[in-house]
Structures are given as C-alpha cells and as structure tokens.
C-alpha cells in the first residue's frame, strides 16, 4: 500500500516566503542533498530532486564546476525498465549512488502467488 506525501522545499534566504516548491511523492528516501522516490506507472521509475541546497558560491559547487546550486523544482527521472511492481521499501545511499528496492512480484497476475525480490540500482 503506497501512501502519498508532499515534499515541501522552503525558499532559500533572500527569496520570497511563498517561493516554496512542492512535489507529490510516494515511498521516499533522503540523502544529504537529494530525495528519491517511486513514480507510479506501467513501468518501474524513480524520481529525484535536490531537497537541500547551499548558497550558489558554496565551495562544493565550485569544486564540481557548477556556478549555481541545483534547482529543487527540476525532477530527474530514473527509468528502471521493468514492469511495475509493488515497492515495499526503498533505501538509497547518495554518496555511493546505490538504490535498493524491496519489491513484491505476482506470478501470472495471481495475488496468492507472490514473491519478494531485491532490486539493486547503481546510479554512478
């Protein structure tokens, strides 16, 4: 059973108070700077966005060759390319880029013949 939540990202200092960003999300995991969640549909797909940013001139962005912080309103789609399954749990390690999904599969559409699987996705 999936629950849906709103991910609300507050504006950075100096922006108007009503400049927040809202994403409707399902099962989610958070890294230090990004969130990742499942997107409903016929194929298994994940979405990600920046959920924590620093000032544009932060040394970390400069080291990465970026001139600005990531835009929290920009979603990244990660197609997994497998038929949709029920995701029971999602774990993500942002530093290593590893996503692990615990999913339920049904054999031949029969809800009494189910199996659980782990799907590991390396985003690096």
User: What is the pTM for the complete model shown?
Assistant: 0.72
Query: Closest by alpha carbon to 47, among 25, 68, 32, 64?
Result: 25
In DSSP terms, 119 is beta-bridged to 101
Helix (H) or strand (E) holding 19: none
Helix (H) or strand (E) holding 23: strand 21-25
Please tell me the predicted confidence (pLDDT) of residue 98.
92
In angstroms, rounded to a whole number, what is the distance separating the alpha carbons of residues 93 and 53?
A: 18
Q: pLDDT by residue (tens digit) across 92-106?
A: 998 898 999 998 877
**Nearby residues of 40 by Cβ (< 8 Å), 6 or more positions away:** 2, 26, 84
* Residue 91 in tokens: 């774990």
- Residues making up the chain, counted from first to last: 124
Q: Show the DSSP H helices in the chain as ranges.
A: 59-63
The span from the first CA to the last CA of the chain, in angstroms, equals: 30
Q: Lowest-pLDDT range, 12-26, 38-52, 57-71?
A: 12-26
Q: pLDDT by residue (tens digit) across 43-58?
A: 888 988 888 888 888 8
**Nearby residues of 88 by Cβ (< 8 Å), 6 or more positions away:** 102, 103, 104, 116
Q: Residue with structure tokens 């990531």?
A: 70
């Amino acid at each position: 059973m999936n629950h849906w939540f709103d991910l609300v990202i507050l504006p950075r200092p100096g922006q108007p108070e009503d400049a927040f960003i809202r994403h409707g999300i399902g099962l989610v995991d958070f890294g230090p700077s990004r969130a990742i969640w499942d997107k409903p549909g016929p194929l298994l797909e994940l979405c990600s966005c920046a959920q924590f940013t620093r000032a544009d001139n932060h040394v970390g962005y400069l080291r990465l060759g970026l001139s600005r912080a990531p835009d929290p309103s920009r979603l990244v789609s990660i197609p997994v390319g497998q038929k949709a399954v029920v995701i029971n749990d999602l774990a993500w390690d942002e530093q290593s880029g590893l996503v692990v999904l615990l999913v339920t599969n049904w054999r031949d559409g029969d809800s009494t013949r189910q199996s659980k699987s782990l799907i590991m996705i390396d985003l690096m």
